[in-house]
Amino acid sequence: MKRNVLVGIIVIMTIALIGLLGVQLYWIRSASSVKEASFRRSVNEAMAKVVYKIERLEKRRAAEINPFPGMLSFNKHLDYSLFSSTHEMDSLISLELNIRGVDTRFQFGIYQPEFDLFIMEKSSEYRKQLIQIGYAYPLFSADMFTTPEYLLIYFPYERQFLLTELWGMLLISIILIVVIVYTFSYTITVLIRQKKISDMKSDFINNMTHEFKTPISTISLACEALGDKELPRSESFYDTYIEMIREENSRLSILSERILQAAVLEKGEMKMQLEMIDLHTIIRDVMKSIRIQVEIKDGEIRTNLLANPSVMEGDKVHLTNLVYNLLDNATKYTPRKPDIRITTENSNRGITLSIQDNGIGISKQEQKKIFDKLYRIPTGNIHNVRGFGLGLSYVKAIVGEHHGKITTESEINKGTLFRIYFPYKIPE
């Protein structure tokens, strides 16, 4: 997939996601507004009924107390506690609110604004809220000759009550939003990963073609030289070209083996031939085959093999390949005078193998990816180094098969240290 296509897909999906989230949030807000309006309407209806009942009750009781009808207006302004108790008022309001589905705590008070006085109140704790943000309903508003009192009501947990009423819809909305965001993120991650894999496979094919082309061309030239009757014949002539063919053929075998190893790892078909082996012997054998490459660059390999015992359970072939891959990388990624140090020591019922070089190093960001299959660091001079990007992924797989651990320490232009722990005995 081309980069522009991938970027276009991501942009379109991002816009679509933002649109869906916007619609979902708008729907939630609309539902909340409708519920809030319904709550206010229910409260207004309930309180209108309460005011009506209060007025009837107070007038009837005032009439019972006052034998003179003309004094009714005066008696209306007597202390409400003479006619109704706070408990009675609370029960009356609760009944009307519950009938209309408003089942949440409330505070109320009868307030006389002319004297800034609460004639009756459920609790003095909420006076400020009752006056500033409470619902207000005038009492005896038909009496034109007196200043009316107000029945104030305040719901301390109004917002929580509305959210509780909406919890079903909110839960569905939240789940949908989470699913959409997760799906979007996962899709983008998969697309980016597929793009990287595609790039790495293309790079792998190019590298593989180049790696195979060189020895094939060399063998072809050697065969042409051996078949050219015009060239002078001698024993050294044959030895030279036969040795050249043998070396390039060996190189082809190594390259083929690496690709086969990658295929085996991917299919999970690796079979370990376990036996008791001496790790120091493997290290010395690998050093013999790679020392020439180091000396060509005027470098050296130094060992400090302290592990005693150095015998462990493992697969000799795979462990040999593991050590070879690490030493080969240390040589290839050190442009000048490689200084490679190999150390072993006993630790925690096993052996720790350390291989350190003075090469170009690996950045902190890239250290997390170096064990990924086909991954090759895309910066610096590494492009000048041939390879498939299979070596370290194979190394990590072999370490895992031996129930070991591998860690990396590296700094740019200061070299790299690979530290590997192997148990003496692989757990069954």
Q: What is the pLDDT of residues 51-100, one digit of tens each?
A: 888 878 777 776 666 655 554 444 454 555 555 678 888 888 899 999 98
CATH number of the domain bearing residue 358:
3.30.565.10
pLDDT at 121: 84
Percent of the chain residues topping a pLDDT of 70:
81
What's the rounded Cα separation, in Å, for the pair 151 and 55?
11
User: Is the domain of 191 the same as that of 126?
Assistant: no
Domain count, the chain: 3
User: Is the domain of 129 the same as that of 195?
Assistant: no
CATH number of the domain bearing residue 176:
1.10.287.130
User: Is the domain of 139 the same as that of 179?
Assistant: no
Q: Flag whether 347 is in a domain.
A: yes
User: Is the domain of 8 the same as that of 147?
Assistant: yes
Q: Flag whether 132 is in a domain.
A: yes
Q: Flag whether 371 is in a domain.
A: yes
User: Is the domain of 160 the same as that of 172?
Assistant: no
Q: Flag whether 411 is in a domain.
A: yes
What's the rounded Cα separation, in Å, for the pair 392 and 23?
48
Q: How many residues does the structure list for the chain?
A: 428
User: Is the domain of 18 the same as that of 160?
Assistant: yes
Task: State how far the alpha carbon of 35 is from the alpha carbons of 39, 40, 93, 311, in Å.
Answer: 6, 9, 21, 76
Query: CA 226, 230, 235, 240 torsion: positive or negative?
Result: negative
User: Is the domain of 63 the same as that of 155?
Assistant: yes
Enclosing domain of residue 61? 3-165
What's the rounded Cα separation, in Å, for the pair 254 and 428?
31
pLDDT band at 353 (very low <50, low <70, confident <90, very high): very high
Q: Flag whether 327 is in a domain.
A: yes
User: Is the domain of 295 the same as that of 194?
Assistant: no
Q: Flag whether 428 is in a domain.
A: no
Torsion of CA 331, 334, 335, 337, to 10 degrees: -80
- Contacts (Cβ under 8 Å, ≥6 apart) of 9: 191
Q: Flag whether 147 is in a domain.
A: yes
User: Is the domain of 109 the same as that of 75?
Assistant: yes
User: Is the domain of 154 the same as that of 286?
Assistant: no
User: Is the domain of 13 the same as that of 159?
Assistant: yes
pLDDT band at 207 (very low <50, low <70, confident <90, very high): low
pLDDT band at 422 (very low <50, low <70, confident <90, very high): very high
Other CB atoms within 10 A of residue 287 CB: 17
Which residue among 230, 252, 267 closes a domain?
A: 267
Give me the long-range contacts of 182-189 (CB less than 8 A, separation at least 24). Answer: 184/13, 184/14, 184/17, 187/13, 188/10, 188/13
Which residue among 240, 267, 294 closes a domain?
A: 267
User: Is the domain of 366 the same as that of 308?
Assistant: yes
Q: Flag whether 98 is in a domain.
A: yes
Whole-number average pLDDT of the chain:
80
The per-residue pLDDT for range 286-332, each reduced to its tens digit, is 888 788 788 888 889 999 999 999 999 998 888 988 898 899 888 88
Which residue among 136, 165, 194 closes a domain?
A: 165
Pairing relation of β-strands 300-305 and 339-346?
parallel
Helix (H, G, I), strand (E, B) or coil at 29: helix
